[in-house]
Amino acid sequence: MVQLIAILMFTVVIHTVDSLSYALRLGGLRSRRITLALSLSGLLVLVSRTSNLAQGPMVGNMVDQALRFPDFVLEPRLHGIIAAATGGTLLAMLLFPSAVRLCSRMVVHLEAAGSIPKMARNLLSLAKWRNGLTYFKRPTFGMLRSLLHGPLPKRLLLLNMVVTAIYTVGVLSSLYAAYLWPAFRLTASTSSGLINGAATILLTLLIDPRIALLSDKTLRGETGLGSMNRVFGLMMVSRMLGTMLAQLLLVPCAYWIGWIIG
């Protein structure tokens, strides 16, 4: 049980941090320092990847326990991990208004400091932390309603939902396939690239260029910043829906991997 709780906590951290990358991009647009904002995203990637590295062996150990002990039920635990991903994305949505304001200031601090280590050292002062509390902004239902005003970028949101679902379920489905086909468990456990590769292609070809195009239009003044607020807000919603879709994809993707390796 302690191990499962640790896995759920790591999953919440991973998806909260990944989702807040949208806040960093929007903060860069607000401060008109988008390149600096993208460089700061390396910090978020570091936190996410470190948590993911710690999570992976623990989930693999759950598969070993399920193979060793017949009364150890694996599938509900994997669905619980996906639910934690939804919870992490929801937490990021609640923190999003505050995170955007904080990220706008962090980009400015990075420009003044000249490097991430120096900026981090400057931010260690108690006065800076007290000042940071003033940027807290409670999300409201009005913010949620504003997302529905105007046309929706349906294709972009659908693609983002599908990509998120695939990324969420990729490693878990490969480990579940290792449990279902123990004779091929080494091959199955390393086959998450089959699923995540498709998501990477969609992300690189169809989603990131569209976000970059909209960001450039905002910087040139062709579209208002409010429209980008709405786009990133909708992307957060579609990301959460993607983690919910992952619940339905867990078992089919595991059997797809089993069909390939078998």
Query: What percent of the chain has a predicted confidence (pLDDT) above 90?
Result: 17
Per-residue pLDDT at 58 = 81
Spatial contact of 176 and 254, defined as CB atoms under 8 Å apart: yes
Question: For residue range 68-121, what is the model confidence (pLDDT) as tens digits?
Answer: 888 888 899 999 999 999 999 999 999 888 888 887 777 777 777 777 777 777
Spatial contact of 106 and 23, defined as CB atoms under 8 Å apart: no
- Extract the tokens encoding 214: 């909209």
- Extract the tokens encoding 7: 């896995």
pLDDT class for 54, splitting at 50, 70, 90? Answer: low
Question: For residue range 15-50, what is the model confidence (pLDDT) as tens digits?
Answer: 898 888 888 888 878 877 777 777 777 677 666 666
Spatial contact of 62 and 77, defined as CB atoms under 8 Å apart: yes
Question: For residue range 233-255, what is the model confidence (pLDDT) as tens digits?
Answer: 899 999 999 999 999 999 999 99
Which residue from 224, 239, 230, 257 is spatially nearest to 86, judged by alpha carbons? 239
